[in-house]
Structure 1
Amino acid sequence: MAKKTTTKKQKSIEETLWDSANKLRGTVESSEYKHVVLSLIFLKFASDKFEERKQELITEGKDKYLEMKEFYNMKNVFFLPKESRWSYIIENAKQDDIALKIDTSLHTVEKNNPALKGALPDNYFSRLNMDVSKLAALLDTINNIDTLKDKEQDIVGRVYEYFLSKFALAEGKGKGEFYTPKSIVNLIAEMIEPYKGIIYDPACGSGGMFVQSIKFIEAHNGDKKAISIYGQEYTSTTYKLAKMNLAIRGIAANLGDVPADTFAKDQHKDLKADFIMANPPFNQKDWRADNELLDDPRWKGYDVPPKSNANYGWILNMASKLSQNGVAGFILANGALSGGGEEYKIRKKLIENNLVEAIVILPQNMFYTTGISVTLWILNNNKKERVVKLPDATRNYRNREDEILFMDLREIGEPFEKKFIQFSPDQIEQISKTYHNWQQKDSDYEDVPEFCYSAKKDEVNSKDYSLVPSKYIEFVNRDENINFDDKMKALQTDIADLLKQEAESKEDLLAVFKDLGYEL
């Protein structure tokens, strides 16, 4: 009988590298090894680019320029002295001082390339005191990756995205805030269309919003040189990740001179952005002291956001930085849709000022750090009639100052990584097309039950300025058509009956033990 053969699925580069990284467990904390892997990937990629450029100079007969960094920088290639090159690292991979050699390499790369200032970890590998054999095994795995093999596939970029998502998955709730799931970023980009001008992210994490903006431009035949990128990040290690993530893709960005709190130390005070994309921390508490930031110019014309929750601080920070035609797309917890107090006053003013363009509820389980459903807000500083030409389309906008689009995407999405949800490309296209049709003249937009509804401002006012989509979208088959008070009263009765039955069972049990002479 012939022996049955099975074809083993070949692992992707990302999966192979992830398996290798997992072997670091026990020698470093899981919260640390993402920086180990991504720093080494960066160094391998920079070395591959350097060697490629070096060979070009040799082919051109310019051997005397091989050690002159100007001839590398002119081609957007980082110049690497001998002790920073990957070949040198591999030659010494099994030496006891390999961690020190890696630190020296990273320090020298940064020192020789001003664009990397503050991007690379300082004395990081030496401090971790890793097992040399495990580190050598990881270096060997990375050594087998040809980072330049397929320029169209952006191998290093793929590894970055894969690892950032994997680390966010592994670290779970309370960590991984630096990563916004790719399909959400794609959706924001397709809706606000950041094709030219200034892009800003006040809580930029690892730079994913910027990367996707550039990909959007490339996909729609735009000009990457027509974009300027500004951002800010509070956490030092994440700030470095962002700088590396952008550097390996050749994306120039101003992320501020240092990692810093956007509220306490705004490094882009006078910025006016054409596009804002952000996923700030949800429901951030005690983000300012009682007497701090009371006269901040970002709140001008509005109430001061409450210190108990930073959601409206983030909203006003972004609203204050919109250019005359600026558009912002950002993610917030659902509580911001209907809060009271100062939040109510700010929300009312935002609506009266015609800034709120769309409110989009996302499905549960899209984020790796929380299972809750969250909201995509779109603010637009110019909802008036105008014509905008994109590289591959023309938008003939109608006046929408008196309207807000509500969308409910909670029944849309596909499974991802077993317990998570993401949007497929077709779903992103459907959602963004609905939004753009709603914006434009002579389109086929129409309200769809359980999906979308265009509300007049008077209708929003009549619902006390609530931005909860279920108050506007028609629901036929889902729980939104159930009267909340009736449902709660029924539950109240059921729970009361259960508690009564539990008490009676407890009394019966005590009586049985008492009859047996074992009183409890």
Structure 2
Amino acid sequence: MNSTTNQRLAQLIWNIADDVLRDLYVRGKYRDVILPMTVLRRLDSVLGTTKQEVLSRKESLDAAGILNQDAALRQAAGQDFYNTSLFLMKDLRSANSQMQLRQNFEAYLDGFSPNVQEILENFEFRNQLPRLTKADALGTLIEKFLDPTLDLSPSSLDNHGMGSVFEELVRRFNEENNEEAGEHWTPRDVVKLMTRLMFEPIADSIPDGTYLLYDGAMGTGGMLTVAEDTLTELTKDKKISTHLYGQEINAETFAIAKADLILKGDGRAADNIKGGPEFSTLSNDAFSNMEFDFMLSNPPYGKSWKTDQERMGGGKNITDPRFVVNHAGDSEFSLVTRSSDGQMLFLANLIAKMKNSTVAGSRIAEIHNGSSLFTGDAGQGESNIRRYVIENDLLEAIVALPLSLFYNTGIATYVWVLSNRKQERRKGKVQLVDATKWFTPLRKNLGSKNCELSDDNIETIMKAFHSFDEADPEVSKTFNNADFGYYKVAIERPLRLAGAETGRVYKAAEIRALKESSARADDAPAIIKKVHKPGTTADPLHGLFETLVDGRVRVVEYERDTDLSDSEQIPLTESAGDYGSGIEAFIRREVLPHTPDAWVDKSKTKTGYEVSFTRHFYKPTSMRSLDEIRSDIRDLEAETDNLLSEIVG
């Protein structure tokens, strides 16, 4: 079945929408009817030859009182689905009235197997019947789908061809309604790049066997099917089999994904995807006890997950092992992000499902927007996820994609590539690839999408990726893991208030009273709040100062001035020099020369990670010379003089 025939069949179905639904639905809602009807027509065509076998088996099973009939009826149908009603779609044409037609059609729908029922329920297709019946359009719709020129039977259209037709319809509807498309449909060119980034590094070495593919935000399922096709193509000389798994919260897109797999003859895979409003990946993980070989996702950006957070017990009470892990000596290291944006939790979900006991391990490709690179302060969830990923040496590369590549947004997007079986040359390293200039403009914009990744563009990106540290440094740079880390250090200054006494140790209540009655005075003595035992070693850098108390030199701590409290970000790679640590060297060099009485509160030091593409790939624009500026000014002055002369003249 060639692509031209697939396009022709998709166009015939598309025309049905214009012919039958134009005055009933706004254009963006055509798919509410057309997509489920396309599924039904194909399933009906497939089931026609075994209809009587299914009815006979159903009668036998009922007579024997057997309740769990699904497996036996699938066997009778010779498919992973069946219909036990008395009707095929062509039989519905004999109805004498619209009401009888609706009753027969509902009985026909009720006869489908549970997996098809799940598709119909998530499409909410039964909700369309009153409108179609009232407009006397249901019969016309059925007739159109039974037209001999629209042959969706297996004898003329194999499973792959049917899947292609259905995907073409989904693509057209998504592009027609492009604002919503970006939420559920990742452009196919982007998916191709992601799958190649995920598979190619190990395609030659991957052992024969069965591999599990997973998408935790699967939308219409396109990523999984493209990934399966890519893996098959890259390993065509090997004995490789795949099983697809996915989860999707949006009911309609879940229905599309499940229907697409069934139409492609992959009903078993359709049983392995879970979806609908009750199946949020974050709060209701459908595959909590499973690990996968390859995982990819395009999670929602900037979308609140507060409802999920509440279901999981609230931000500080979450105990899900995907999001509270053991790391850096902390058995409760939190990866929980702010409730306003949960996209990085989808990455944590994938990481929790990585295989650690196999030769190939697991590989991940996931799309994020720019905020995942830097949002979240040290110690907060977003930074902790970056820290967990990088310190466990899981991050292989981040690829910056061109702007305006998606349907409903022009924001910057990035592909994160992760592996727990890095090549030797990549261990301890992270590669950044700036692919923002490698794109092909579209002839016609699709919403916000004004460009695409051509095959040549993808080849260019893959070449840079595979070249690693030998790639052109203008577009690819390699860093040590620690280059992205930093310490967030709390810098404190002593409280100095007018009227404070030199050498006096103040109690907490006295300090509060002094704060209420006195103003800050830079020339006042620092207020002492604690005196340490004799023999305590002074450490001014960390808040232990020597001063006179009752005529003796004692080691003391000062009350901090909260208005002067500050912080510094110090790179993990800061050189210690002649000092005890990089932190100490930085403070002595950058802070103490300006504020000699400052100290570091070690109890507040936190480790953070961020990735700055802008800093690493920034190319400053050369400033114009003074001669060029003077020349422009003279030209403007001359032009102004000429205008004045014309006005005055």
1:108 and 1:71, CA in 2 relative to 1: closer, same or farther beyond 3 A?
closer
Q: 1:332 is paired with a residue of what secondary structure?
A: strand
1:248 and 1:374, CA in 2 relative to 1: closer, same or farther beyond 3 A?
same
Query: Does residue 1:359 correspond to 2:398, yes or no?
Result: yes
Query: Does residue 1:335 correspond to 2:371, yes or no?
Result: yes
Query: Does residue 1:467 correspond to 2:611, yes or no?
Result: yes
Task: Specify the alignment match of 1:424 in structure 2.
Answer: 454
Task: Specify the alignment match of 2:171 in structure 1.
Answer: 165
Task: Specify the alignment match of 1:323 in structure 2.
Answer: 355
In 1: Cα distance, 2:8 partner to 2:151 partner: 13
Query: Does residue 1:207 correspond to 2:221, yes or no?
Result: yes
Task: Specify the alignment match of 2:47 in structure 1.
Answer: 50
Counterpart mapping for 1:399-414 below 5 A: 399-414=425-440
Work out whether residues 167 and 176 of structure 1, in 8 Å CA contact, stay in contact via their aligned partners in 2.
no
Work out whether residues 296 and 365 of structure 2, in 8 Å CA contact, stay in contact via their aligned partners in 1.
yes
Amino acid in structure 2 at the alignment position of 1:376: V
Work out whether residues 251 and 275 of structure 2, in 8 Å CA contact, stay in contact via their aligned partners in 1.
no
Q: CA deviation at 1:222?
A: 7.0
Find the partner of 2:248 among 226, 233, 242. 233
Q: CA deviation at 1:64?
A: 9.0
Question: How many percent of aligned residue pairs carry the same amino acid?
Answer: 23
CA deviation digits over 1:79-138, x for unaligned, max 9? 33464523224555984554554443232112xxx5445222362332444665555554
Work out whether residues 214 and 245 of structure 2, in 8 Å CA contact, stay in contact via their aligned partners in 1.
yes
Q: CA deviation at 1:282?
A: 0.9
Where in structure 1 are there 5+ consecutive unaligned residues? 1-9, 58-62, 384-396, 439-444, 474-479, 488-520
Counterpart mapping for 1:425-444 below 5 A: 425-438=455-468
Q: 1:405 is paired with a residue of what secondary structure?
A: strand
Q: CA deviation at 1:210?
A: 1.9
1:337 and 1:51, CA in 2 relative to 1: closer, same or farther beyond 3 A?
same
Q: CA deviation at 1:32?
A: 3.9
1:100 and 1:206, CA in 2 relative to 1: closer, same or farther beyond 3 A?
farther
Q: Given the two structures, how large is their TM-score scaled by the length of structure 2?
A: 0.61
Task: Specify the alignment match of 2:145 in structure 1.
Answer: 142
In 2: Cα distance, 1:131 partner to 1:450 partner: 64
Work out whether residues 360 and 377 of structure 1, in 8 Å CA contact, stay in contact via their aligned partners in 2.
yes
In 2: Cα distance, 1:78 partner to 1:280 partner: 31
Q: 1:199 is paired with a residue of what secondary structure?
A: strand
Q: 1:173 is paired with a residue of what secondary structure?
A: helix
Amino acid in structure 1 at the alignment position of 2:470: E
Q: CA deviation at 1:142?
A: 3.3
Task: Specify the alignment match of 2:287 in structure 1.
Answer: 268
Work out whether residues 365 and 418 of structure 2, in 8 Å CA contact, stay in contact via their aligned partners in 1.
yes
CA deviation digits over 1:157-215, x for unaligned, max 9? 12322222222223333566222211122222222129842211111122112221232
Where in structure 2 are there 5+ consecutive unaligned residues? 1-5, 61-71, 327-332, 486-570, 574-607, 625-649
Q: CA deviation at 1:43?
A: 1.3
Please give the root-mean-square deviation of Cα atoms over the aligned residues, in Å: 3.7
Work out whether residues 218 and 224 of structure 1, in 8 Å CA contact, stay in contact via their aligned partners in 2.
no
Task: Specify the alignment match of 2:320 in structure 1.
Answer: 296
In 2: Cα distance, 1:176 partner to 1:334 partner: 16
Q: Given the two structures, how large is their TM-score scaled by the length of structure 1?
A: 0.74
Deviates more, 1:319-328 or 1:234-243: 234-243
Query: Does residue 1:282 correspond to 2:301, yes or no?
Result: yes
Q: 1:256 is paired with a residue of what secondary structure?
A: strand
Amino acid in structure 2 at the alignment position of 1:281: P
Q: How many residues are treated as equivalent by the alignment?
A: 445
Q: 1:280 is paired with a residue of what secondary structure?
A: coil
Amino acid in structure 2 at the alignment position of 1:340: G
Query: Does residue 1:20 correspond to 2:11, yes or no?
Result: no
Larger radius of gyration: 2
Q: CA deviation at 1:13?
A: 2.4
Query: Does residue 1:482 correspond to 2:616, yes or no?
Result: no
Deviates more, 1:185-194 or 1:197-206: 185-194
In 1: Cα distance, 2:195 partner to 2:96 partner: 42
CA deviation digits over 1:215-248, x for unaligned, max 9? 2244342789732222212122322222211111
Work out whether residues 46 and 77 of structure 1, in 8 Å CA contact, stay in contact via their aligned partners in 2.
no
1:378 and 1:97, CA in 2 relative to 1: closer, same or farther beyond 3 A?
farther
